[in-house]
Amino acid sequence: MTTVGNPGSTTAEYERAPSRFTDRITADGRDGWPAEAGRYRLVVSRACPWASRALVVRRLLGLEDAISLAVVDPLQDERSWRFTLDPDGRDPVLGIAFLGEAYAARDPGHDGGISVPALVDVPSGRLVTNDYAQITLDLATEWTALHREGAPDLYPEPLRDEIDEVAEDVHRNLNNGVYLAGFAKSQRAYERAYRNLFACWDRLSERLSTRRYLVGDTITEADVRLFTTLVRFDAVYHGHFKCNRNKLAEDPVLWAYARDLFQTPGFGDTVDFDHIKRHYYRVHTDINPTQVVPLGPDASGWSAPHHREELGGRPFGDGTPPGPPAAEEVPPRGRAGAPGA
């Protein structure tokens, strides 16, 4: 996640910069990066929906002991993501103050964006990949030898075409659609993004009115990708990005679906509403020049009953839910109902 996508764009439409580093960490190490416990560090911002996908998948698959976690400050400076939440302002494992240092170790000439999620090779300190779309798929399919016992299959082979189709619609019109609306530089570009977003919204609401999950009867990659946008919608996208036809809490189907996932181990326990709101409202000064962060909305509703179990489905299929998160990985603020949420 970067703050402005492609800052060099001269068009009225927001353009998301593509992932620059797309090496893959695989079981056979064919790109030179084998899946090994303890070798890589996942760097995330809890504010970022793209990084949050990796947080959720890592929890669901039980990869916490295999891949260590670094959380950056939700506020950036001119050098982008920084480790000011850690003692002495440095990541205790990588020893760096800015994520950009891992990018420079990979490519000293890199002058593009510094984005999360990022997987960094601990021995060399080099960035391996910032390909947010591929990272979670590889965690699900290439790291299976290190999955916890009872880990779900988030990308089942018989359903991959359908998952990809649904995920592409969600990405184009909702995941990225909120940014197309929020960063639009003309009324026409904004209205186009707004209409596409809510057309997709209505398709999803109809689809989920009769089924608990997007594809099949268990949680898949498609649900992870939708959740990380929905959980930010009322807190940020509805007002800050002008996606205000309706709130998530005003759609009975999607609101219940989002609460169902939020209350599922591995989803809500990765969410930090404080980081989310402070990042968007304080970093996007072109949209919110005062940098005032709203106190609402009330997050306690995320804990309300959802009744989605009446639709059937088995969240983890033949598997089991993950155990509680490690104490040091529980967001300290911004949990549902917590002060400052």
Q: Is 200 a catalytic residue?
A: no
- 125 touches 31 (CB < 8 A): no
- 16 touches 176 (CB < 8 A): yes
40, 48, 190, 257: the catalytic one is: 48
Count of Cβ atoms closer than 10 Å to residue 331 Cβ: 19
| Predicted TM-score (pTM) of this structure | 0.94
Phi, psi at residue 80, to the nearest 5°?
A: 75, -145
The per-residue pLDDT for range 286-296, each reduced to its tens digit, is 999 999 999 99
pLDDT, position 11: 62
Integer-rounded Cα Rg, in Å, for the chain is: 19
pLDDT, position 175: 98
pLDDT, position 7: 40
Q: Please provide the DSSP assignment of 65-115 as one string.
A: TTSEEEE--SS-BTTBSB-TTSGGGS-TTT--SBTHHHHHHH-TT--S---
- Domain limits of the chain? 157-329
Q: Which CATH number fits domain 157-329: 3.90.180.10, 1.20.1050.10, 1.10.10.10, 3.30.160.20?
A: 1.20.1050.10
pLDDT, position 112: 87
Residues 72, 181: Cα–Cα separation, whole Å: 26
Show the CA angle centred on residue 69, arms to residues 68 and 73, nearest 5°.
160
Distances (CA, A) of 212 to 144, 257, 292, 312: 26, 7, 37, 7
The two structure tokens encoding residue 169: 């619609």
pLDDT, position 336: 42
40, 132, 155, 179: the catalytic one is: 179
Q: Which amino acid is at 67?
A: I
The per-residue pLDDT for range 236-288, each reduced to its tens digit, is 999 999 999 999 999 999 999 999 999 999 999 999 999 999 999 999 999 99
Ranges of residues in the chain whose predicted pLDDT is under 50: 3-9, 334-341
Q: Is 179 a catalytic residue?
A: yes
Residue 48: partners with Cβ closer than 8 Å, 6 or more residues away = 1, 116, 117, 279
